[in-house]
Amino acid sequence: MAVAAATPILGIHNLQPSVVGGNELTRMETTSVQAAGVVCLSALKSATNSSCTTGKSVQFKLPKESSTKVLRSSRRSNEFVAEEEAPDRVTESQQESEPSDSTAAAAQPEYIWMSNVEVKRTRPSSFNRRWSSKDISIAGFMTFMHTMCLLAPFTFSWNAVRLCAALSFITGMFGITLSFHRNLSHKSFKLPKWLEYTFAYCGVQAVQGDPLDWVSLHRYHHQYCDTEMDPHTPHEGFWHSHIGWLFDEKPIRRSVSHSNVGDMEKDDFYQFLHKTYIIHPVLLSLALYALGGAPYLVWGMAVRLVWVYHVTWFVNSASHVWGTQPWNTGDLSKNNWWVAMVAYGEGWHNNHHAFEYSARHGLKWWQLDPTWWTILGLGAIGLATKIKLPRPEHMKRLATKSS
């Protein structure tokens, strides 16, 4: 899930208009996105002489000339606009956080606990940065929601718990993993418009951003996965990849430019959701309060939202830190069984980064993937069509010894 939980609550996004056009185009697009990533990582590699495939050390602080080259390569294949800001950003982040030569030489490499993921910060940490008003409002919202959860024991009722579980499933699985991620971001299958919109509306109620913002940021994550351009790479530290990136407006603003959601941007429904986004969860909150008072509000909004947030964020953090890499994707993505268990199959994240277009993430029979089972069910009754799966030649090309 990209799951991202994407932007910020008050907004997340990234592919091209050409993606819309059916299987082959989408595959080509996916390949070109991956190719852009490979070019990007290759350039990083040659600039730093470090290995990207094992995730051991992607050097972020590039000479200005190198980063420009990376961006041009990416731009050729995907026609992004926002990347032009990057050299400035690199320079800025170097100014903000680059240690002196003597400090760098003395510093020991820092790894995320129980992993081979090296922390190489290019952004100042959350605690060492000037926060914008948007950063503060998002942090305030998150703090408020988490604090509301403290009321859960005092408002407990089985009806409230059942409501929480049902809404988690509807907004987390149908809304985020099935709709925002596999259907809208990656075009892994097609749905009739009425059903596509219904599921997308469920995603809006997860309060992770409207579909345009969420898809844009997520496509951006895939294109620049685990490079300095990735808004939530764990190379910036685990806290950053899990939640800290939400409070760092600059990289998010670059990622959510809508230049990569041309296939959705002209759709009136998505424009409507983009413009009215925040009204919908407010209306749901009022309806829940009217139906069941404080217990429904606390469990149906706060507990439910916080649960789905962390589940989604674990895909960005834990599934890029701990697990196995059966496919040679050149990034840090991992197959993580416990994330897959709580995130409706999204934890098979190395599978997903290898075959972004695939509607199925759990590729082995034992890799539980409830989102895939649901798509399969929708296909069986004729509602999901053009369901994409990994191509054998693609699997052969990316397989490692552990595949």
Only segment of 1-9, 45-53, 289-297, 387-395 that touches Zn ion (CB under 5 A): 1-9
- 2 vs 387, which CB is nearer to Zn ion? 2
Give the burial class of 357: count Cβ atoms within 10 A of its Cβ; 0-12 exposed, 13-18 middle, 19 or more buried. Answer: buried
d(CA 55, CA 82) in angstroms, rounded, equals 26
Give every CB contact of residue 92 below 8 A, 6+ residues apart in sequence: none
Residues contacting Zn ion: total by CB under 5 A: 1
Only segment of 2-10, 169-177, 191-199, 233-241 that touches Zn ion (CB under 5 A): 2-10
Residue (of 66, 107, 116, 117) closest to 240 by Cα position: 117
Return the residue nearest Zn ion (CB atom).
2
| 257 CB-side CA count, 13 A | 18
Q: Between the CA atoms of 30, 176, 332 and 260, what dihedral angle is there, to the nearest 10 degrees? A: 40
Shortest Å, Cβ 392 to Zn ion: 21
- 2 vs 112, which CB is nearer to Zn ion? 2
- 2 vs 354, which CB is nearer to Zn ion? 2
| Residues 345-384 interacting with Zn ion (rule: CB under 5 A) | none
- 2 vs 261, which CB is nearer to Zn ion? 2
Mark residues 143-172: x for contact with Zn ion by CB under 5 A, - for none: ------------------------------
- 2 vs 339, which CB is nearer to Zn ion? 2
Shortest Å, Cβ 68 to Zn ion: 25
- 2 vs 86, which CB is nearer to Zn ion? 2
Task: Report DSSP state, residue 119.
Answer: E
Shortest Å, Cβ 181 to Zn ion: 6
CA 133 to chain CA mean position, Å: 23
- 45 vs 186, which CB is nearer to Zn ion? 186
- Whole-number Cα distances in Å, 58 to 15, 61, 118, 225, 235: 24, 9, 8, 11, 8
Shortest Å, Cβ 300 to Zn ion: 28
| Residues 31-90 interacting with Zn ion (rule: CB under 5 A) | none
Shortest Å, Cβ 157 to Zn ion: 37
- 2 vs 207, which CB is nearer to Zn ion? 2
How crowded is residue 147: how many other Cβ atoms within 10 Å of its Cβ?
11
Give the burial class of 16: count Cβ atoms within 10 A of its Cβ; 0-12 exposed, 13-18 middle, 19 or more buried. Answer: buried
Shortest Å, Cβ 225 to Zn ion: 6
d(CA 67, CA 23) in angstroms, rounded, equals 32
Shortest Å, Cβ 366 to Zn ion: 22
The helix (run of H) or strand (run of E) holding residue 110 is: strand 110-111
Shortest Å, Cβ 182 to Zn ion: 8
Binding residues vs Zn ion (CB under 5 A): 2
